[in-house]
């Protein structure tokens, strides 16, 4: 536009000058080598204006040609991009539907024309993983890792695939490396939680759980349940590595609140019994039952191998004097009576326990007590009830 305005200004100035100097056109001589060109000033001005107009026109035509070629090129590029996006979207749907082969074919067909080939290669890797083709899966992950800003997405995909194949050691290595670069990424932390549980890495799991709660990846109830499982697993690990002495030492160092957990007390007692520290286990049970009624502890009493059962029997008898409806105490006392071949006393306590709550093990013990008293018909009836409890249908 500016060029055309300039051209019209020059033309106007020429016309004005022409009218002012009409009849006085002047003389212009141009000599080049042996050639001479003669013209009036007016002719020269008109020639220059025409030359400028021709140059401006040529520039306009060249720009139009370049613009047309660029537009055509862009049209083809956009067309390819749209087609690539469409195929990728269809591939993702096929991946969700479980059609791995079709998903792989669609996302890789036009991946080079996609504006985010990283997505195409990750979907292709998942599709190859679904087909069980590990070489293709790793090839696509390699292509994805060559894209910009691909580290987190690629390694998370790799870790998920390793977990799906139960390669928890490899997943642990992958996620540990990621955690150093992305310490607060919720997906990394959740996958680490799964890996820690599968590898029995209880202390790292205990340390990780508060972060998951802070990021709303775990509710308080889920945290409490996970912490109980981890603490119980840690007790088992310490018992295996350090024996009963190391286990008791670890227990003594735990916070008071944790040592008041019924579940954790039961885990502690189980580990003591497993390490043949039955006297220490009985002491823990006796002291714990004084403070709180923990049904799980009554079930552990018959599992102990004590030189003298009399203190346990006396404790259970005293408990039943105070709590006649304590099913756990009735069941435990009945089992000790069975060992002493006191079939009638065992039968009475088992029947009372079963009146309070149904239990397959107690039905079995009651059937044995009845068999020992030659009450075969009654024993068969009890066995039938036990089977109905196992298979309600």
pLDDT in tens, 176-186: 999 999 999 99
* Alpha carbon separation from 186 to 115, 161, 183, 217 (Å, rounded): 27, 17, 9, 7
Q: Which residues pair with 231 in a beta bridge?
A: none
Least confident of 35-44, 215-224, 366-375: 35-44
What pLDDT, on the 0 to 100 scale, is given for residue 199?
95
Rounded to the nearest 10 degrees, what angle do helices 100-109 and 117-130 cross at?
Answer: 160
DSSP 3-state of 390: helix
pLDDT of residue 169 exceeding 60 = yes
Q: Please give the residue that has the higher pLDDT: either 6 or 188.
A: 188
State mean pLDDT over 343-365: 90
What pLDDT, on the 0 to 100 scale, is given for residue 77?
52
Asked if the 1-15+26-148 domain carries CATH number 1.10.287, the reply is no
Least confident of 35-39, 229-233, 309-313: 35-39
Least confident of 73-77, 211-215, 378-382: 73-77
Q: Cα(352)–Cα(218) distance, rounded to whole angstroms? A: 41
pLDDT of residue 282 exceeding 90 = yes
CATH topology match: 1-15+26-148 vs 308-393: yes
Residue 53 C-alpha from the chain's centroid: 69
Q: Cα(353)–Cα(359) distance, rounded to whole angstroms? A: 9
pLDDT tens-digit map of 261-271? 899 999 999 99
Helix (H) or strand (E) holding 9, with range, is helix 2-20
Q: Which two tokens stand for residue 367?
A: 């059937």
pLDDT of residue 5 exceeding 90 = no
Q: Considering the chain, what percentage of its residues have pLDDT values greater than 90?
A: 50
Residue spans of the domains in the chain: they are 1-15+26-148, 200-293, 308-393
Q: Cα(278)–Cα(173) distance, rounded to whole angstroms? A: 40
pTM surpassing 0.75?
no
pLDDT of residue 100 exceeding 50 = yes
Task: Could you please state the CATH topology (level 3) that the domain comprising 308-393 is classified under.
Answer: 1.25.40
Least confident of 39-48, 191-200, 277-286: 39-48
What pLDDT, on the 0 to 100 scale, is given for residue 86?
85
Confidence of residue 95 (pLDDT cuts 50, 70, 90): confident
What pLDDT, on the 0 to 100 scale, is given for residue 358?
86
pLDDT tens-digit map of 108-135? 887 777 778 888 889 999 999 999 999 9
Q: Per residue in 191-205, is it b (16+ CB within 10 Å) or e — as a string?
A: bbbbbbbeeebbebb
Mean pLDDT of the chain: 85
């Amino acid at each position: 536009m500016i060029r055309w305005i300039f051209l019209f200004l020059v033309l106007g100035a020429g016309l004005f000058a022409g009218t002012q100097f009409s009849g006085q056109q002047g003389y212009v001589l141009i000599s080049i080598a042996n050639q001479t060109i003669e013209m009036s000033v007016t002719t020269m001005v008109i020639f220059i204006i025409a030359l400028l107009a021709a140059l401006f026109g040529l520039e306009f035509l060249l720009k139009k040609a370049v613009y047309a070629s660029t537009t055509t090129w862009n049209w083809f590029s956009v067309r390819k991009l749209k087609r690539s996006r469409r195929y990728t979207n269809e591939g993702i749907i096929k991946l969700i539907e479980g059609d791995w082969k079709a998903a792989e074919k669609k996302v890789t067909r036009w991946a080079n024309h996609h504006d985010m080939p990283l997505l195409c290669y990750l979907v292709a890797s998942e599709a190859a993983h679904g087909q069980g083709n590990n070489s293709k899966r790793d090839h696509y992950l390699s292509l994805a890792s060559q894209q910009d800003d691909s580290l987190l997405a690629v390694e998370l995909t790799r870790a998920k695939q390793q977990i799906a194949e139960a390669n928890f050691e490899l997943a642990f290595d992958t996620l540990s490396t990621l955690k150093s670069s992305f310490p607060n990424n919720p997906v990394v932390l959740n996958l680490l939680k799964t890996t820690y549980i599968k590898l029995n890495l209880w202390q790292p799991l205990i340390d990780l759980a508060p972060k998951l709660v802070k990021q709303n990846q775990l509710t308080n109830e889920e945290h409490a349940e996970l912490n109980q499982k981890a603490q119980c697993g840690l007790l088992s690990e310490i018992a295996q590595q350090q024996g009963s002495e190391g286990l008791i030492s670890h227990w003594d160092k735990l916070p008071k609140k944790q040592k008041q957990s019924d579940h954790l007390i039961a885990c502690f007692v189980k580990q003591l019994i497993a390490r043949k520290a039955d006297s220490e286990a009985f002491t823990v049970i006796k002291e714990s039952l004084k403070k709180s009624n923990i049904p799980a502890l009554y079930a552990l009493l018959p599992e102990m191998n004590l030189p003298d059962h009399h203190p346990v029997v006396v404790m259970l008898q005293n408990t039943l004097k105070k709590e006649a409806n304590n099913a756990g105490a009735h069941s435990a006392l009945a089992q000790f009576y069975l060992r002493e071949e006191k079939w009638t006393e065992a039968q009475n306590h088992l029947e009372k326990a079963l009146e309070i709550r149904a239990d397959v093990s107690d039905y079995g013990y009651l059937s044995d007590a009845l068999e020992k008293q030659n009450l075969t018909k009654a024993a068969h009836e009890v066995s039938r009830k036990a089977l109905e409890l196992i298979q309600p249908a």
